[in-house]
Amino acid sequence: MDRKLGKINRYLMIGWLAIVVVLTVTYFGELARGHRDWPYMAMFLSVTIIPAVACLIYFIKRPQSKKLRIYAIAGYLLMYTFVLLNTNTVMTYGYIIPMLTLIVLYHSPKLVLVMGSVALAANILCVVRFFAIGMVTAGDIKDVEIQLGMIGFSFVFAYIATVLYDKIVKENEEYIKSIDDKQKQLERVTLQTITTIANIIDAKDEYTKGHSYRVAEYSSALAQELGYDKERVANVKYIGLLHDIGKIGIPDSILNKPGKLTDSEYALMRKHAEIGGNILSGNNMIDGMDEGAKFHHERFDGRGYPLGLKGEEIPEMARIIGIADAYDAMTSNRVYRKRLTNEKVISEIKRCSGAQFDPRLAEIFVKMIEAGKLDDLSPDNAADTNTGTESKGIAERSADLLQSVIGFKEKAYDNEHDYLTGALNRSAGEKLISERLAEGDGGLFIVDITNLLGVNEKHGIVAGDRVIKTVSEELSAREELIVVRYDGSGFLCFTKSAAESGALEGLMSEVCSEIGGKLRAMTEYEDNLICVGGALSSEVGRDLSALLIAADKALFYVKQLGEEGSYLYKKSEKDRNGNLYGLDLEQLIKMIAHDGSDGAVYGMDSPEFERIYELVKGIYEKNKQEMQLVLITVTPAVGKSLAVADRDEAMEYLQSAIDVTVSPSMITFRFSSVQCMVIVTEPQTESAELVTERILNSFYKSYDKRNMALTTEAASLPSPEVC
């Protein structure tokens, strides 16, 4: 668009200057013949050449300025008005035509309208002047009308042309924008696909996790140093991500063998280059896609594999990836050795220059290492081994670098941490929280990212990962929290510093507000909401499973409301030492019988409970008889922990058991993520005990695992208040 505007500005200046030159030559000719004097010429030069030269200087400095059209037309109209008022004939409308033709290119109807109004006004003034001095008489009125009509028609048609041209230009711009958007969407999908494949490749080799990403980063950095344009640099990165795709065809027993490979095993390992080339051959999406995979183990001296290519017979793409691949191998820990120091790496690259590596690329790559250009891309920022600092574990060394894909670096990864976020994984986190609970009371809450699936579908998995990592970083920044990756869209947080109701509620509200604001600032994820549900061990007990159930119920309530917010699970004073589930039944009865008007837990502003209340009320008004309520809760079996996957699976079986056993006249509702309720509307026909027995039989008949159990409670439902 800017280049197009610059071209139009250039045409405008050429047209204007051409007219100025013609007028200047003509007027100097008249001066030479004595038809003009020098005072008149001075006035002419000041209103023609000076504005034109000033705009020419402005054009040279800012050739793509939108303001130039205004300045040029103002100067042109000044010149036109001067010529018009000092001519001996009314036939000067022709001067306006060249400029009028050019300004149509700006497709700005307002500009044509302003220019036309000024030009018409100037011509009317000219006619008035000619009448006043007697140059035009009543007999010439026909000519005057023709002149003014010609000017009017010129601008009217120019205006119409500009409007039509403006419409065409805008439609073209929208079409081009839609193509660009689709292209960007295709690029995102391509990157996600390539990233997924790279993850699969690296997952096969436990000693080289993150290798493909790092090679891609080093390769693209070298390509940029070589002067590749942006598109080619991106292509190098994509090819680098897939350079080891052939390892898919290599047995895991060979890839993960800690000791030295046998000759036959090594021969099979070498096959990965050829396999990778075959997999990517015929892929026309990126030029040379198969070359990086097939030839990155070729050597400059011709002693490489699979074909033994030599020198520049090896595609430059493969030579780039080959040196990046070797660099990552030298700077990463292996089971059989620690990473090499930078000095040793530089020495090795220089030693192998001309043998394993292209000498030109090796020289440039060494300079990049010496300049520290690869430091931020290295698998870690550990101190040089010569300093005596203990190196970190192999798994930590192999943390993936997703700087260019996701936007920030991976945290250290080991057997106790989640690979994507760096937070504690579920097993390690539950163990640590249980230990802290054994020491004393604390607060536990679950942070859930709603609509994460929508982000994945709309923006891609990489975008969803960015959201998850943002939430993790915000939580991990709070030193008082133990942060655990709870499930696909949630985090579990524990703190001993907020063991009181008010403190934990304040912390949960603050976390919800800050993280929610952070995600909304990431404009493409504005649909995300943060929901937080928590519980106190002083309320529920120090059993982690009980705390999880209570926090999960509170979270379920918040999510029911469909709004961002937090809620703390609370038990009444009279039931503080009672059963965790008994209180829920009491509160549930209150909410249904009183429409939640007493402010019972989970009842406030819940549209679901309002609906159930109306159903119960309607049935009671019709039958005038008491109903019964059954509450069924999924709980961990004795000695088992509450796992989200097991809980959800058990809830699905429970829901299925309810669907196939209850009659259509009964009301069923999923009360929380671990509870369902059934309202028996005709207890004289089917009692709550009989319904409960049928549900339990159906559940245990289909759910044969022993990690989850059902707890049931039943009570009479009093008559709903008639408001």
Q: Could you read off the pLDDT of 78-103 as tens digits, one per residue?
A: 777 777 766 655 445 556 666 666 67
Q: State residue 383's pLDDT score.
A: 32
Does residue 571 register a pLDDT over 70? no
Confidence of residue 696 (pLDDT cuts 50, 70, 90): confident
Helix (H, G, I), strand (E, B) or coil at 109: helix
- DSSP bridge pairs for 679: 629, 667
Does residue 379 register a pLDDT over 50? no
Average pLDDT, the chain: 77
Dihedral sign, CA of 644, 649, 652, 653?
negative
Query: Tokens at residue 396, please?
Result: 């930590």
Confidence of residue 507 (pLDDT cuts 50, 70, 90): very high
Strand-by-strand arrangement of the 708-717 sheet: 667-672, 675-680, 627-636, 708-717
Angle, alpha carbons 334-335-339 (nearest 5°): 30
Q: Which 8-state DSSP code applies to residue 105?
A: G
Query: 400 near 335, Cβ under 8 Å?
Result: no
Residue 654: C-alpha distances to residues 549, 640, 675 (Å): 17, 19, 9
Residue 275: C-alpha distances to residues 199, 229, 250, 558 (Å): 18, 30, 9, 52
Total-model pTM: 0.36
Other C-beta atoms closer than 10 Å to the C-beta of 181 total 10
CA distance 610 to 596: 8
Q: State residue 221's pLDDT score.
A: 92
pLDDT in tens, 643-663: 666 777 888 889 888 888 888
Task: Between 545 and 193, name the one with better pLDDT.
Answer: 545
Mean pLDDT of 284-299: 85
> What percentage of residues in the chain have a pLDDT greater than 70?
76
Residue 388: C-alpha distances to residues 308, 329, 337, 383, 466 (Å): 41, 22, 16, 9, 36
CA distance 257 to 268: 13
Helix (H, G, I), strand (E, B) or coil at 573: helix
Query: 307 near 270, Cβ under 8 Å?
Result: no
Q: What is the DSSP string of 138-166?
A: GGGHHHHHHHHHHHHHHHHHHHHHHHHHH
Which secondary-structure segment (H or E) carries 196? helix 141-204
Q: State residue 201's pLDDT score.
A: 67
Listed range (37-41, 177-181, 224-228, 346-350) with the worst mean pLDDT: 177-181
Does residue 311 register a pLDDT over 80? yes
Does residue 513 register a pLDDT over 50? yes
58: exposed, middle or buried (Cβ count in 10 Å: 0-12, 13-18, 19+): middle
Q: State residue 315's pLDDT score.
A: 93
* 627-636 and 675-680 strand pairing: antiparallel
Residue 152: C-alpha distances to residues 78, 111, 141, 156, 219 (Å): 19, 15, 16, 6, 65
Q: State residue 492's pLDDT score.
A: 93
Q: State residue 283's pLDDT score.
A: 67
Domains of the chain by range and CATH?
A: 2-173 (no CATH), 206-397 (1.10.3210.10), 426-570 (3.30.70.270), 592-717 (3.30.70.270)
The helix/strand count (H/E) of the chain reads as 25, 9
Query: 627 near 683, Cβ under 8 Å?
Result: yes
Q: State residue 465's pLDDT score.
A: 81
Confidence of residue 610 (pLDDT cuts 50, 70, 90): low
Mean pLDDT of 339-358: 90
Mean pLDDT of 137-157: 72
Does residue 175 register a pLDDT over 90? no
Q: State residue 95's pLDDT score.
A: 63
Residue 626: C-alpha distances to residues 586, 679, 680, 687, 718 (Å): 16, 11, 9, 12, 6
Query: Tokens at residue 592, please?
Result: 């249904």
Other C-beta atoms closer than 10 Å to the C-beta of 388 total 7
Q: State residue 684's pLDDT score.
A: 76
Residue with tokens 């028609």: 153
Confidence of residue 591 (pLDDT cuts 50, 70, 90): low
Query: Tokens at residue 454, please?
Result: 């929508």
Q: State residue 206's pLDDT score.
A: 53
665 φ, ψ to 5°?
Answer: -75, -15
Listed range (43-52, 461-470, 519-528) with the worst mean pLDDT: 519-528
Provide the greatest CA pair distance for the chain.
123
Residue with tokens 């056993």: 661
Q: Of 481, 352, 317, 339, nearest to 396 (Cα)?
A: 339
Task: Between 538 and 419, name the one with better pLDDT.
Answer: 538
Mean pLDDT of 283-307: 86
Listed range (201-210, 443-452, 680-689) with the worst mean pLDDT: 201-210
Listed range (172-186, 259-273, 349-363, 634-648) with the worst mean pLDDT: 634-648
Q: State residue 564's pLDDT score.
A: 85
Does residue 597 register a pLDDT over 60? no
Does residue 518 register a pLDDT over 70? yes
